């Protein structure tokens, strides 16, 4: 599950980012509203946690712009302002939930899980079916014929990315950003490593390499 955190307070953002990563989320942490909006528009995220007060562009404007652009990613507002009118404005603008600072971390995690479940129901029971593979993105497993194959979280994200773009090349840059986030310190070569891991589990013939560009999963049902 990939999450975009847009939060003005640097130390709070850092602490919250670390907490979310420990819970298994892939997180991009941004403190500027303008940059946050750009990443939300052009990135690939499952959830957005958004502060109300931000430099350059405020949280309410970000929500309105995302919804205007047709982006339906679940959004959770964080704010220290308990004015009812602000809460109503945020929800009316398109936010899915609202959490008042200071908050208990367990409550934030519970709300994120609830938003994740709501999103997953929109993804056809969390199952993707391409080329004879059936991937369950929540349970991190794939069915291939009579074989039931368990995947790691990263392998699941990788296969999901390839399946959602089946027949089209997915660049290494996009895969890296999807699995580790834009500001990760992981080595770029890890993309090739996880492609190797995934091929070992589902079969090398499923994933085609386009040298110097990336990889793609062919959308056909006759792969042996």
Q: Residue 61 sits in a domain of what CATH number?
A: 3.40.50.2300
**29-72: per-residue pLDDT in tens?**
999 999 999 888 877 788 999 998 899 999 999 999 888 777 78
Is residue 223 a part of any domain in this protein?
Answer: no
Asked if residue 179 is part of any domain, the answer here is yes
Give the model's confidence band at 221: pLDDT under 50 very low, under 70 low, under 90 confident, else very high: low
pLDDT digits (tens, 9 = 90+) for 67-100: 877 778 899 998 887 778 778 888 888 899 989 8
Task: Tell me how many domains the chain contains.
Answer: 2
- Establish if 224 belongs to a structural domain: no
- Give the end of a domain, one of 81, 99, 121: 121
Least confident of 36-45, 47-56, 148-157, 159-168: 36-45
Residues of the domain holding 92: 2-121
Label residue 137 by pLDDT band (50, 70, 90): confident
Comparing 199 with 117, which gets the higher pLDDT? 199
pTM of the model as a whole: 0.57
Domain co-membership, 34 together with 115 = yes
Cα separation, 158 vs 35, in Å, equals 25
| Predicted confidence (pLDDT) at residue 216 exceeds the cutoff of 50 | yes
Residues 107 and 14 in one domain: yes
């Amino acid at each position: 599950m990939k999450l975009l955190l847009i939060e003005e307070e640097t130390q709070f953002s850092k602490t919250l980012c670390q907490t979310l990563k420990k819970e298994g989320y892939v997180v991009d942490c941004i403190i500027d509203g303008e940059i946050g909006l750009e990443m939300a528009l052009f990135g690939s995220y499952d959830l957005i946690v958004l502060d109300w007060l931000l430099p350059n562009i405020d949280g309410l404007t970000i929500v309105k712009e995302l919804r205007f652009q047709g982006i339906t990613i679940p959004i959770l507002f964080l704010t220290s302002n308990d004015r009812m009118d602000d809460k109503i404005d945020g929800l009316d603008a398109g936010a899915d939930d609202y959490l008042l600072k200071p908050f208990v971390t367990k409550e934030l995690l519970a709300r994120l899980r609830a938003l994740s479940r709501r999103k997953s129901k929109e993804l056809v029971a969390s199952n993707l079916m391409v080329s004879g593979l059936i991937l369950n993105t929540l349970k991190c497993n794939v069915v291939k014929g009579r074989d039931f194959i368990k995947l790691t979280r990263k392998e699941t994200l990788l296969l999901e990315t390839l399946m959602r773009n089946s027949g089209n090349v997915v660049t290494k840059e996009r895969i890296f950003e999807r699995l580790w986030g834009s500001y990760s310190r992981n080595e770029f070569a890890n993309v090739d490593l996880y492609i190797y891991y995934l091929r070992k589990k589902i079969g090398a013939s499923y994933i085609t390499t386009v040298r110097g560009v990336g990889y793609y999963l062919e959308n056909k049902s006759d792969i042996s």
